[in-house]
Amino acid sequence: MSTLRIATLNVWNKSGPWPARLEMIRSELSRLQPGILGLQEVLRFAPNGLDAFDGRTEHCQALQIAEGFGYEAVFVEACDYSGGLRFGNALLTRWPILESRSFPLPSLDSGESRALLYALVETPYGPLPTFVTHLNWKLHHGSVRLEQVRYIVERIFELSPVQGSLLPPLLMGDMNADPDSDEMRYLRGLKVLDGKSVYFTDAWLYAGDGSFGATFDRKNQFARRSHEPSRRIDYVFVRGPDKLLRGEPIRTELAFDRADASGSIWPSDHFGLVTDLFFEPRSP
């Protein structure tokens, strides 16, 4: 094995026909077999105020999705809906989670509550810093998302310095921003923000099939309900490849993008992404 398979999906909480959608998500997960899967819009019920996983699958969507696949799981809360119901991000991984943290994202009084999940995953190639997030959703919240992206980049560089011993970090999730937005251009090194610039490889642009790659697509009836344009708003980024060419995307495809036989039920209102990243050290 020379690559790691990474996937991401916004699961659309329990909207729509959740039992049927769950079956479809698990079927696609079985087909793809990713080593790491980032999830957004995950619901988790924490009775009696408990914050840790209690082992009861029915209390967490991430555990329902992961059941029987041998994944470790971690969940971070973005919003407390009261009564023990939490909304946030999750990570499933086939390898041990060495540490994890949660960071609330800047909201700029927008009325939304978002979070960044960080997990250090012990992969066959070494520790991999992995970040999962979900930015503000409203079309006019670009200024908020830009501040959220800047905050995320600061956390990534703090937890994974460029000259450190860790693998190139991953950032994945539902960014609610198309590739031409200031927030995504900043991540791709195309926008200077307060005199600073960074570069993260967009796995779709690097190793996709060259198509538009919409992950929020009006052909999906669940997405069409929002009366918004089709666009690519879900991403896998890697701060690489590094000088050993670790973290190079080899192939990136849409995932969780097939309707059932009737054509009326989809796994989510979003399509996901799956990408194979090369992590075997190589000489340039």
Which tens digit of pLDDT belongs to each residue from 19-41? 999 999 999 999 999 999 999 99
* Separation in Å, CA 155 to CA 63, 89, 93, 248, 259: 27, 17, 21, 22, 37
Taking alpha carbons only, the member of 132, 247, 130, 134 closest to residue 199 is 247
Residue with tokens 């994202």: 105
**For residues 165-192, average pLDDT:** 97
Q: How far apart are CA 271 and CA 256, in angstroms?
A: 5
* pTM metric for this prediction: 0.96
Q: What is the mean pLDDT of the chain?
A: 94
106-146 confidence digits (pLDDT tens): 999 998 999 999 999 999 999 999 999 999 999 999 999 99
In the chain, % of residues over pLDDT 70 = 95
Residue 245: the pLDDT is 94
Superfamily per CATH, domain 3-278: Endonuclease/exonuclease/phosphatase (3.60.10.10)
Q: Which residue ranges make up each domain of the chain?
A: 3-278
* Cβ atoms of residues 17 and 37 within 8 Å: no
Residue 50: the pLDDT is 54
